[in-house]
A = this chain, B = another copy of it.
Amino acid sequence: MPPKVKSEAEKQKASALILDAARELFVTKGIEAVTMREIAKKIGYSPTTIYLYFKDKETLIHEICVKDFEQLGGQLSGLMQIEEPVERMINMGDSYARFALNYPNHYRMIFMTRWSECPLGDDIDPGKDGYQLLMQVVEAVYEAGHFLPEHDNPELIAQTIWAGIHGVCSLQINMGHDPHINWTDIEDRIALMLATLTRGLLKYPNYKRKLK
């Protein structure tokens, strides 16, 4: 029962079929279940058929990453409507953390995996690039003069905020089930990190978060 000529739309459909199967596999059964043979079995294809649509396993995974990364970007860009820059910044950190913990396997793939090449980001829609969005809001806070005067490099500030939130999330994802550590509630850890970053970076040592 092999071949019938496929339209461009049908090819797209087959491609999406593979992508979704691969995504669901590692979301539900973990990254180690994502083998070419496993993906193929799931959709009733032969293992090698995947190679008609994707160069190799890495680019397949990479394409999933780009899509999910843009989903994160979409989630974050919704926050750009918050007018007060500091509140916008804090909510962005919070939203970022929520994405990481709701989709730990996605997050691990995007930010916790070493990429031999294609370092993500190249194919990302700039409007949905989470880092660019963070830069924008940090720059807004900077322009408004809310940071300590000794902090004169928005890029450095943004990277520090990113590192703080990422640290909480990645530790939770990788070691959150280690019984050797007496972990406190993850919500408390996120909240304290956000509070520490704002108090540590802003002019106002007593800044209290208003929204949410």
Residues of A whose CB lies within 8 Å of any CB of B are: 108, 111-114, 119-122, 124, 131, 151, 153, 155-157, 159-160, 162-168, 170-171, 174-175, 177-184, 188-189, 192-193, 195-201, 205
Chain B: minimal CB distance from A46 (Å): 28
Chain B residue nearest in CB terms to A193: B160
Chain B residue nearest in CB terms to A157: B192
Interface CB pairs A-B, < 8 A, 24: A111-B171, A111-B174, A114-B174, A119-B177, A119-B179, A121-B181, A131-B180, A151-B192, A153-B184, A155-B182, A159-B183, A160-B189, A160-B193, A163-B167, A163-B168, A163-B193, A164-B164, A165-B167, A166-B167, A167-B170, A196-B197, A197-B200, A198-B200, A199-B199
Chain B residue nearest in CB terms to A131: B181
How far apart sit A182 and B175, CA to CA, in the bound complex (Å)?
29
Residues in B neighbouring A151, C-beta threshold 8 A? 192
How far apart sit A100 and B188, CA to CA, in the bound complex (Å)?
26
Residues in B neighbouring A121, C-beta threshold 8 A? 178, 180-181
> Which of A155, A160, A205 gathers the greatest number of chain B CB atoms within 10 Å?
A160
Report yes or no: B156 in contact with A192, Cβ–Cβ below 8 A: yes
Report yes or no: A200 in contact with B196, Cβ–Cβ below 8 A: yes
Report yes or no: B195 in contact with A200, Cβ–Cβ below 8 A: yes
Residues in B neighbouring A184, C-beta threshold 8 A? 153, 155-156, 159
Residues in B neighbouring A166, C-beta threshold 8 A? 167, 170-171
Chain B: minimal CB distance from A85 (Å): 18
